[in-house]
Chain A
């Protein structure tokens, strides 16, 4: 029984961190129609900056620099590499391919810097644990859940209550109609990229924290698991991304927890699970959990 609770808590922590990444995918997709394949490298950059700076300026300061620098770079990628001037809805697919190139450049450089090392981020939780009744939980996991929940609440608040959020949702539905209302599409879009970059850098901390050994050059690839989470949620739906992330986090943890019983499915099945879940969901609901073509009456 405690094993199950362990798995559920672990899955929740994992899902919460995936949600930070998946929300980034969704925000970028809504604002620009682009699938950002450079997201994993942005995440790695945020983690890397936090790792190399924490000795000098402390964890909090290093994290702040990592988050801000990653947000800034995401905005620069949008403004300078993907487009010049106004968003052009006809070239979203071209821009998507450009992000693959950006990813290769970023990842190559960061891999060279990190090499085979395991970088420590200097987070305050270390390998401490908290006992809650029969269950022992790593503090880093509790922190992952708490911080992610806070960040997600802030993002949903932005969507709902700010002019930027309203602009984003309007532009995500109908770019031209939003333009006709005088929405500054270019600014809305760049801010979306910045927000996604910041969320990715934040996620890096928890992906590198205990029980993970630290930040590796492959940490960015974990972001790819948030990709099916965003897709199975409906790609343009923040709530869907949240649900998809939790679903994938929980499934992954449960499969990992019962690996011996699932030997039948082969070693390392846990790594495949996000994609298996995605395929299953899409078979039943081709538009994703929360994706619709718009419940519209004509």
Chain B
């Protein structure tokens, strides 16, 4: 099998990253992890462990919170992402779906999807239509409601719209921040299916979750963050078997 050049199959490499807020509060210390081009990687951790901070560091939105990467490197393929703005991440193919969905509630479903393509330089309407058709195939529900205000969708539908909006930017790596948050169990299963589908279509996924059971069932690799540091790393199946993870994140009281 011929080796493909590294640029065609880029990986996200986070190398020894420190993040501080307001030049004082240290939120991440010496975090390193890799998301290979064809993988689903899960990032677990309790509230305040630094999961969302890491995503902000990747997508370039730390600045909105007065935060900065104070040491280390973030690279996607050949592109350096640390110190860059969100436009750079989107154009490199790294697109984040924010926690809590954050769809534009006053805009229609269609306009929300159009907004997903704003980061790319002018695209032909044919390309936009093609991207939208892909989203509608994945989420037929959105096609039915395309002229409705996004604020009138249910929570599950909004999560689908948030994912669909990100897919409009044709990402090669999708950053998902707590997609199952606040959703009914059936809808969580549906989201898991969608993540599998997106991965099958060739997009790598970094999945941040508190629902460790769901995340570990989807992921190849997983990392556990604790108070700003990577505590555990390894294949998802192996992590799911460790006592610490079972006790802390899978809620199995009996596991000793």
Q: 0/1 per residue, A278-298, Cβ < 8 Å to B? A: 000000000000001011111
Whether the pair B151, A170 counts as a contact (CB closer than 8 A) is: no
Closest chain A residue to B55 by CB distance? Answer: A180
A33 to chain B, nearest CB (A): 13
Closest to B165 in A: A181
Contact A297 B154 (CB under 8 A): yes
Q: Is the CB of A296 within 8 A of B64?
A: no
From residue A186, how far is it (CB to closest CB) to chain B in Å?
A: 9
Given A176-B64, A294-B106, the answer on whether A182 and B90 have CB atoms closer than 8 Å is: yes
Residue B104 contacts which of A174, A295, A297 (CB distance < 8 angstroms)? A174
* Contact, CB under 8 Å: A180 / B104: no
What is the bound-complex CA distance between A292 and B106, given in angstroms? 10
Q: How far is the CA of A260 from the CA of B229 in the complex (A)?
A: 76
**Contact status B169-A182, CB under 8 Å:** yes
In Å, the complex CA distance between A248 and B106 comes to 26
Binds A, one of B108-116, B137-145, B186-194, B233-241: B108-116
Q: Which of B66, B95, B149, B151 contacts A180 (CB 8 A)?
A: B95
* A173 and B98 within 8 A (CB): no
- Cβ of A173: which chain B residues have Cβ within 8 Å of it? 104-107
The residue that B64 contacts in the complex, of A169, A175, A182, A298, with Cβ under 8 A, is: A175
CB of A183 within 8 A of chain B? yes
Which residues of the other chain, B, contact A88 by a CB distance below 8 angstroms? 63-64
Does A90 make an interface contact (CB < 8 A)? yes
Whether A177 is near chain B, meaning CB under 8 Å from some CB there, is yes
A80 CA to B100 CA in the complex, in Å?
A: 35
**Interface residue? A57 (CB, 8 A):** no
Q: Known: A90-B66, A173-B107, A176-B61. Contact between A181 and B116, CB under 8 A?
A: yes
Chain A nearest CB from B74 CB (Å) reads: 16
**CB <8 Å contact, A180 and B115:** no
Known: A176-B64, A296-B151. A182 touches B86 (CB 8 A): yes
Render A132-172 as a binary contact track against B, CB cut-off 8 A, 1 for contact.
Answer: 00000000000000000000000000000001001101100
- CB neighbours of A213 from chain B (8 A): none
Residues from chain A with Cβ under 8 Å of B90 in the complex: 180-182
A169/B95 contact (C-beta < 8 A), A163-B118, A184-B87 known = no
A169-B23 Cα distance, complex, nearest whole Å: 32
Question: By the criterion CB–CB under 8 Å, are B102 and A181 in contact?
Answer: no
Q: Using an 8 Å CB-CB cutoff, how does the interface string of A170-213 with B read, 1 for contact, 0 for none?
A: 10011111111111100000000000000000000000000000
**For the complex, is A89 an interface residue (Cβ under 8 Å from B)?**
yes
Contact call A179/B86, Cβ cutoff below 8 A: yes
A86 within 8 A of B: yes
- Tell me, rounded to whole Å, the shortest Cβ–Cβ distance linking B1 to chain A: 35
CB neighbours of B111 from chain A (8 A): 166, 169
A188 CB to closest chain B CB (Å) equals: 9
Is A297 a contact partner of B151 (Cβ separation < 8 A)?
A: yes
Known: A177-B104, A182-B169. A294 touches B151 (CB 8 A): yes
Q: Is B119 on the interface with A (CB-CB < 8 A)?
A: yes
Chain B residues positioned under 8 Å from A90 (CB to CB) = 66
**Nearest neighbor of A89 in chain B, beta-carbon distance:** B64
- Find chain A residues with CB under 8 A from B122 CB: 163
Is B102 in contact with A177, judged by CB distance below 8 angstroms? yes
A24-38 contacts to B, CB under 8 A, are none
Q: Which residue, A88, A163, A177, A178, has most C-beta atoms of chain B within 10 A?
A: A177
The interface centre, meaning the residue of A179, A180, A184, A298 with most chain B CB atoms within 10 A of its CB, is A180
B87:A177 contact, CB within 8 angstroms:
no
Q: How far is the CA of A175 from the CA of B86 in the complex (A)?
A: 12
Choice from B63, B154, B169 contacting A181 with Cβ under 8 Å:
B169
Q: Which residues of the other chain, A, contact B151 by a CB distance below 8 angstroms?
A: 294-297
Q: Is the CB of B98 within 8 A of A169?
A: no
Are A297's CB and B152's CB within 8 A? Answer: yes
Closest-CB distance, A56 to chain B (whole angstroms): 40
B198 beta carbon closer than 8 Å to chain A: no
Contact with A along B79-99 (1 / 0, CB 8 A): 000000111011100011110
Q: Please name all residues of chain B whose beta carbon is closer than 8 Å to the beta carbon of A174 when the two chains form the complex.
A: 102, 104
The answer for the CA separation of A285 and B119 in the assembled complex, in Å, is: 37
Docked Cα-Cα span, A182 to B152, in Å, equals 25
B residues neighboring A (CB under 8 Å): 59-61, 63-64, 66, 85-87, 89-91, 95-98, 102-107, 111, 114-116, 118-120, 122, 149, 151-155, 165-166, 169
Q: Nearest 6 CB-CB pairs, A to B?
A: A182-B119, A182-B90, A296-B151, A177-B102, A179-B86, A294-B105
| 17 interchain pairs, CB-CB under 8 A | A88-B63, A166-B114, A169-B107, A170-B104, A170-B115, A177-B102, A178-B104, A179-B85, A180-B90, A180-B97, A181-B119, A182-B118, A183-B115, A294-B105, A294-B106, A295-B152, A296-B151
Other A-B pairs beyond A181-B165, A297-B152, 19, CB < 8 Å? A89-B64, A167-B115, A170-B107, A173-B107, A176-B61, A176-B64, A176-B102, A180-B90, A180-B95, A180-B166, A181-B169, A182-B87, A182-B89, A182-B120, A294-B106, A294-B151, A297-B154, A297-B155, A298-B155
